[in-house]
Structure 1
Amino acid sequence: MTQAHGNQDRGRDETEDERADRRWSELIQEVRVAQTGVQILFGFLLTVVFTSRYEGLPQTEKTIYIVTVVLGAAATGALIGPVSFHRIVAGRRIKPAAVQWASRLTVIGLILLLATMTAALLLVLRVATHDGYVPWLVGCVVLWYLLCWVVLPTWIRRRHADD
């Protein structure tokens, strides 16, 4: 078998198609986790407007809610996108490109999920308490997300890039 360009440097003996198959499987497993979270959050968000308490919310909270729902809808679309993408391009012998685009959709979905979770947290904490520390709490949680989702993986990647 011929090896895909550069795969020897990565320590894997796989063709470009085998690499695309492996990357697709990994991507789908990752997307399943994110999809579940965003769909549960989005589902709960959709019910808020139908509660009796919604009408009594100040306009600022209603605006935050609307932005949160739109972000949740966008995140859901982006994170479900790879499944649709795969279904539409399956059997067309373009899997490496499909994996690349599906991966991009996933990253966009994760960014939108971060924004959705941030806005939802802001809304809940503003309704729960009107203290001035709410933005600080939300900021700390966002920093935690960024540490877990971006900083640590990037640090490990750079640290072991020379191995």
Structure 2
Amino acid sequence: MRKQLLRRHARVCLLVASTALAWPSAGLAESTADTIAVNVDQAKLVRLPGKVATIVVGNPLIADVTLQPGGMIVVTGKGYGATNFIALDRAGEILVDRQIQVEGPSDRVVTVYRGVERESYSCLPLCQRRVTLGDSDSYFSTTMGQAGSLSSNASGNASAGAKTN
């Protein structure tokens, strides 16, 4: 009888241990250490091994990864969500395979809803238009058009000023 109880206990312990190891959160400490967190519309510098030759991004709509000299990469958050990137050497060997988590903006954002139309404003210290993924098409297009026009005019004026000097 005692042997049967010990065997049953051993089986239960084995079952609990195998379930704990198979549970998704079992490797959570490892995966969060390998995750690069970046805010949308912001960039982060990350140092990789110096012999990286190629970078592959899982979903370039979520993040962009640009290789810089000396094994430095620039990770830019482009859309909300998670993706990964893989760094390869010249021989095609995988050097790094890491997750990228793109989160919401870090500044104070106020969202205004007009029915189904959405507008975003960055309010630090004053509220100004801020284009954010999910804003209505008309607000997004108008704000981007104004920003493009301002940028174009500023670089046009800078060029004209450089020619007159």
TM class by shorter chain equals under 0.3
Using structure 2 for the length normalisation, give the TM-score. 0.22
> Which has the larger helix fraction?
1
Higher relative contact order (CA 8 A, sep 6+): 1
> Which has the larger strand fraction?
2
